[in-house]
Chain A
Amino acid sequence: MRLFRRAKPRPDPRPRREGEAPEGRPMTRRALVLLGVQLGVGAALALRLRQLQIVEAERYRLLAEENRINLRLIPPERGEIFDRAGKPLAVNRQNYRVVVVREQAGDIDEMLDRLGLIIDLPERQRSRVSREMRQKAAFVPVLAAEHLEWGEFAALNANLPALPGVQPEVGLSRHYPDGKLTAHSIGYVGRVSERELEDQETPDPVLQVPDFQIGKTGIERALEGELRGKAGALRIEVNAMGRVIREIDRDGGTPGRDFHLTLDLGLQAALSERLEGESAGVVVMDVTNGDLLAAVSNPSYDPNLFVRGISTKDWNRLLNDKYRPLANKWASGMYPPGSTFKMMVALAAREAGVASPSETVYCPGHMELGNRRFHCWRRGGHGRMHMRQALEQSCDVYYYEMAKRLGIDRFAPMARRFGLGSGFELPIPALKGGLIPDREWRKRTYDESWQTGDSLNAAIGQGFVLATPLQLAVMTARLASGRAVVPRLIRAEGGIPLTAPEPEPLGLDPEALALVRGGMFDVVNGSRGTARRSRIADEAALMAGKTGTSQVRNISPAERAAGITRNEDLPWERRDHALFVCYAPYEEPKYAVSVVVEHGGGGSTAAAPIARDVMLRALYGEEIPLRAYPDGQRPERPPPTPAPRPEPAAGGSGIRT
């Protein structure tokens, strides 16, 4: 305050101030104040520097490193997939592409003009490239075109001196050489979608790499973790503009693992060709170890369309096709198994001891149950049938009787022992488990009690019973081997063969099994067998099987009174499904085959011939000897259309009234 008062101007002359020598230093006090203030500011600056450089140094050091270092991921090379003989099914093909860099290009339009002379550069693509080049930093490469033909790419490389700013590049992209043949098993890859990123808790950072592709369906999706491998990383130093200054270090990453499947591409191709025009699912299985030699869903689609991004037109065409090419019928198509289910009932009846092999049941063509009438497929009835005959001729009434004696809870477990009603451990995401109903299930699902009529329907593979072609093949393989064969699709991983454990015996009564096998033998080879025309004549390769025809509609009493409408008079989607399961050779089984032809009509006419042809191809390879055919000559192929079938269904046809 003293200072303050002193400096105050005074109007009148006053004695000279104290502390001020006459000739002295008038400004000492003011100078010291100012110096003090300035030293204070200096101290404040020093404190600020201490705050930044000592107290918060670590935080800022981190921020500086983040500024400086950029992690660039090197996408791993995806594992490839081969068939059992090593033929490629899914490979990484070189993707020839062109990128352009503005800072080297000079005039963008002129450069694009020249580029357009060498490669095909549609106007839309060209304007996109031009726009991107102008938007992005000068040194950022912009993708101009990809999936170039080798010719174009070679021409481009030859003309590089005249194309400043144009850089040819070779990337990798997925390719399915015979895509259509295995599309439903292999699946396909595609770009990572937003949802796929969100679904994962800690997504692999490589998923964020532009254009990175992951498995979307089939094995590509189920084995994504093994196929993808581990991304490498390139640590680079960048400047403020993002330009790369130098590479700091590099971690190569790990390529994905290769897989060898059990599928045989040749068999797969023959089968696809045989199924031309049908909507069908077929499985060929090795009964000794469960190897799936062929698994075909027809019609198919080209998975390569999806790799490059499918066009709306192609997509709609696939989606609107009534044969549903995108559906995997062999693994996820669930059909009532029809009469192919009767073996289960026969085995259960023998095991429970409710019927002896020689005991006969009289078939008048129907069975009365309360006020309901359950029909046999043969209107006039089969007369007296014992168990083996009832299989050969597929008598429904016999199995109605067995179902009545057993009840669902005694034959459903038998079906489950044969792999029905539940899924398998296969790298097919779409795999379905079918359905084997029982009392408990009906209560749980519909809150209704089980009726005897339900058991009757189930006994002929109708009603609630559902199975996939894969399950039917497994069932057949288990019948043929007596062991709990498990289907297998992967033969070797990373070049190392996977050993399948020896299947456990099912623990069935050998006599009962022999009886059922005999019935299946008669179906194909017996004089009254429903699949006589599809037998194999070669004594060394005799086939056993079972037809099935499953209804997809209810038949009203009125319809029945007027005579059952013939399949060929119905619209396609209301016709019966045709089924056939078989194995061969009868004495020493090697292969099991199941065929489901959607709305094919009768199992004996639509499914059995296909199964026989496939079995022959599996047994003999490409050169099938004439002796294998019943009449000593190859039959003419039926026309490759789902055109009206010549005869009505011969297989079992369960009827619910």
Chain B
Amino acid sequence: MTAAARERIGLWRKLLRLNWPLMLLIAAIACFGFLMLYSVAGGSMQPWAARQMTRFGAGLVLMLIVGMIDIRVFRALSPLVYLGALGLLVAVEFIGQTAQGAQRWIDLGPLQLQPSELMKIALVMALAHYYAWLDRERVSHPLWMLPPVAIIAVPVLLVLQQPDLGTAGMLALGGAMVMFLAGVSWWYFATALAGLVATVYSVLVSRGTDWQILKDYQYRRIDTFLDPANDPLGAGYHITQSKIAMGSGGLEGRGFMQGTQSRLNFLPEKHTDFIFTTLAEEFGFLGSVSLLALYVLVVAFGFASMLQNRDRYGALLTGGLTATFFLFFAINMAMVTGLIPVVGVPLPLVSYGGSAMLVLLLAFGLIQSAHVHRR
């Protein structure tokens, strides 16, 4: 299929070429979200479910529009989008609103924009753009490694500044996965992994010595993560209560709107980061694994779409965004099940929040665009 041929594809054909299974999966996951938001509000559309539905509807339209636009437009725009997102990240330092001690969003009237969310897409776009442009022979050349590392490091450092460890980690990991897909040598990843392990090890070993790397309170957080029962009413409280809620759900759950842990406010952030806990409590193992399966299917369809695409930019974009989506739910679920420390990462498409919902659907729009306009 030549470029000229692609241009002639009509809007109707484009709609048919959309990745419909992916659309259905997204809608199904969002429906889980509406249900849970209805439940945690005590059986009410207010204050969360109704607004979440409106946002989802708007986001869906946005996704379709983005999906209809030729992928080459986005490829061309990629550097600009990245620079724009970077500019917003800098701007948020100065004019940002503060939430829970971290500067996160810019108030744009009807929309509260979190530049760090936007950056999750922009970073993938920039890296895909770079590797689509770069001669494949040079991908692992040390010199040509510098630009992508810089592209990743600058926003990561800016987000760490906020400070938002979860998002920074996601950006770094998402960027690394694009580089991996682009074919960067295993050695770099092996070295980076070894370096990470060494750093963690020295951080732990340095505790109590003269050259202690972290502050005492940071070590206490690590302790709390490792053994939440140690501090059941302090920082470990959330994770302990979360585990109690999930475990008490059992196989079949306690029934829709019957979860005592969430209804009686034992759960923290039950409509945002910890919404999965309520789901697990009310729908049990069957419910929680069903949602997990839907997420994994999204990832599988994402990679399938990537493998069908011979356009390097489109394929890298699809792979990178799919990997970012994976990071969202994997980090969130690992966090609420107590596998990793609590970092502020919402459950994609389910947690209440306008910015994340919009950014996610924008990302799926790009994936659709790459799919529709694949070669």
Judge whether A67 and B244 touch: CB under 8 Å.
yes
What is the total number of residues of chain A having a CB less than 8 Å from a CB of chain B?
47
Name the A residues within 8 Å of B326 (CB-CB).
38, 41
Judge whether B248 and A63 touch: CB under 8 Å.
yes
Which residues of chain B in 293-333 are interfacial with respect to chain A, using CB atoms and an 8 Å cutoff? 295-296, 299-300, 303, 306-307, 310, 312, 315-316, 319, 323, 326, 330, 333
Name the A residues within 8 Å of B196 (CB-CB).
none
- A49 and B286 CA atoms in complex are apart in Å by 10
Q: Does A237 sit at the interface, judged by CB under 8 A?
A: yes
**Proximity string of chain A (49-71) to chain B, C-beta cutoff 8 Å, 1 when within and 0 when not:** 11011101111110111011000
A27 contact from B248, B280, B315, Cβ within 8 A: B315
A42 contact from B246, B247, B295, Cβ within 8 A: B295
- A4 and B190 CA atoms in complex are apart in Å by 10
Secondary structure at the A interface, as helix, strand, loop or mixed, is helix
Q: Does A359 sit at the interface, judged by CB under 8 A?
A: no
CB A429 to nearest CB in B, in angstroms, measures 43
- A18 and B246 CA atoms in complex are apart in Å by 49
Judge whether A38 and B246 touch: CB under 8 Å.
no
Which residues of chain A in 1-30 are interfacial with respect to chain B, using CB atoms and an 8 Å cutoff? 3-4, 7-9, 13, 23-28, 30
Judge whether A45 and B330 touch: CB under 8 Å.
yes
- A71 and B266 CA atoms in complex are apart in Å by 18
Judge whether B181 and A27 touch: CB under 8 Å.
yes
CB B266 to nearest CB in A, in angstroms, measures 4
Judge whether B296 and A39 touch: CB under 8 Å.
yes
What is the total number of residues of chain B having a CB less than 8 Å from a CB of chain A?
53
Which residues of chain B in 129-147 are interfacial with respect to chain A, using CB atoms and an 8 Å cutoff? 136-137, 139-141
Judge whether B248 and A7 touch: CB under 8 Å.
no
Residue of A42, A48, A238 most packed against chain B (CB within 10 A): A42
A53 contact from B139, B177, B280, B319, Cβ within 8 A: B280
- A511 and B263 CA atoms in complex are apart in Å by 88
Judge whether A34 and B247 touch: CB under 8 Å.
no
Judge whether B247 and A31 touch: CB under 8 Å.
no
Secondary structure at the B interface, as helix, strand, loop or mixed, is helix
Surface stretch bound by B, among A81-89, A239-247, A453-461? A239-247
Residue in chain A with minimal CB distance to B139: A9
Residue in chain A with minimal CB distance to B138: A9
Given contacts A34-B180, A34-B181, A45-B330, contact A25 B310 (CB under 8 A): yes
Name the B residues within 8 Å of A26 (CB-CB).
136, 183, 312
- A33 and B189 CA atoms in complex are apart in Å by 14
- A265 and B328 CA atoms in complex are apart in Å by 82
Name the A residues within 8 Å of B292 (CB-CB).
42, 45-46, 49
Given contacts A3-B186, A27-B181, A31-B181, contact A238 B264 (CB under 8 A): yes
Q: Does A154 sit at the interface, judged by CB under 8 A?
A: no
Judge whether A56 and B285 touch: CB under 8 Å.
no
CB A240 to nearest CB in B, in angstroms, measures 4
- A8 and B190 CA atoms in complex are apart in Å by 12
Judge whether A53 and B247 touch: CB under 8 Å.
yes
Judge whether B319 and A60 touch: CB under 8 Å.
no
Which residues of chain B in 239-254 are interfacial with respect to chain A, using CB atoms and an 8 Å cutoff? 241, 243-251
Judge whether A68 and B310 touch: CB under 8 Å.
no
Given contacts A67-B260, A240-B264, contact A7 B186 (CB under 8 A): yes
Judge whether A8 and B181 touch: CB under 8 Å.
no
**Proximity string of chain A (212-242) to chain B, C-beta cutoff 8 Å, 1 when within and 0 when not:** 0000000000000000000000000111110
Given contacts A49-B246, A57-B250, A64-B245, contact A34 B303 (CB under 8 A): yes
Given contacts A8-B185, A64-B260, A68-B264, contact A57 B306 (CB under 8 A): no
A56 contact from B247, B288, B307, B316, Cβ within 8 A: B247
Q: Does A35 sit at the interface, judged by CB under 8 A?
A: yes
B250 contact from A27, A35, A61, A67, Cβ within 8 A: A61
Given contacts A54-B251, A54-B285, contact A45 B182 (CB under 8 A): no
Judge whether A35 and B136 touch: CB under 8 Å.
no
Q: Does B187 sit at the interface, judged by CB under 8 A?
A: yes
Judge whether A7 and B185 touch: CB under 8 Å.
yes
Residue in chain B with minimal CB distance to A64: B248
CB B370 to nearest CB in A, in angstroms, measures 13
B299 contact from A8, A38, A45, A52, Cβ within 8 A: A38
Judge whether B137 and A52 touch: CB under 8 Å.
no
Residue in chain B with minimal CB distance to A58: B250
- A23 and B375 CA atoms in complex are apart in Å by 10
CB B310 to nearest CB in A, in angstroms, measures 6
Q: Does B265 sit at the interface, judged by CB under 8 A?
A: yes
Judge whether B337 and A67 touch: CB under 8 Å.
no
Judge whether A49 and B280 touch: CB under 8 Å.
yes
Given contacts A60-B244, A60-B247, A63-B244, contact A53 B307 (CB under 8 A): no
Judge whether B261 and A24 touch: CB under 8 Å.
no
B266 contact from A8, A34, A48, A239, Cβ within 8 A: A239
CB B25 to nearest CB in A, in angstroms, measures 14
Judge whether B250 and A64 touch: CB under 8 Å.
no
- A42 and B139 CA atoms in complex are apart in Å by 30
Which residues of chain B in 208-242 are interfacial with respect to chain A, using CB atoms and an 8 Å cutoff? 241
Residue in chain A with minimal CB distance to B187: A8
CB A10 to nearest CB in B, in angstroms, measures 8
- A286 and B109 CA atoms in complex are apart in Å by 95
Judge whether B330 and A41 touch: CB under 8 Å.
yes
A57 contact from B248, B303, B337, Cβ within 8 A: B248
Given contacts A49-B289, A53-B285, A240-B266, contact A61 B315 (CB under 8 A): no
- A25 and B183 CA atoms in complex are apart in Å by 12
Judge whether B310 and A8 touch: CB under 8 Å.
no
CB B73 to nearest CB in A, in angstroms, measures 23
Name the A residues within 8 Å of B245 (CB-CB).
60, 64
B183 contact from A30, A68, A237, A245, Cβ within 8 A: A30
- A23 and B280 CA atoms in complex are apart in Å by 46
Name the A residues within 8 Å of B265 (CB-CB).
239-241
Q: Does B284 sit at the interface, judged by CB under 8 A?
A: yes
Name the A residues within 8 Å of B295 (CB-CB).
42
Q: List 14 A-B pairs, Cβ < 8 Å.
A: A7-B185, A9-B139, A23-B310, A24-B310, A28-B307, A30-B180, A38-B296, A42-B295, A45-B292, A50-B289, A67-B260, A68-B261, A68-B264, A240-B264
Other A-B contacts than A34-B319, A42-B295, 20 sampled, CB-CB below 8 A, are A4-B186, A7-B185, A9-B139, A23-B310, A25-B307, A26-B312, A27-B316, A30-B183, A38-B296, A38-B326, A39-B299, A45-B292, A49-B280, A53-B249, A56-B247, A65-B248, A67-B260, A67-B264, A68-B260, A68-B261
The 8 closest A-B pairs by CB, nearest first: A60-B247, A9-B140, A64-B248, A53-B285, A239-B264, A57-B250, A240-B265, A61-B248
**Interface positions of A (Cβ within 8 A of B):** 3-4, 7-9, 13, 23-28, 30-35, 38-39, 41-42, 45-46, 48-50, 52-54, 56-61, 63-65, 67-68, 237-241, 245
**Interface positions of B (Cβ within 8 A of A):** 136-137, 139-141, 177, 180-183, 185-187, 241, 243-251, 260-261, 264-266, 280, 284-285, 288-289, 292, 295-296, 299-300, 303, 306-307, 310, 312, 315-316, 319, 323, 326, 330, 333-334, 337, 339
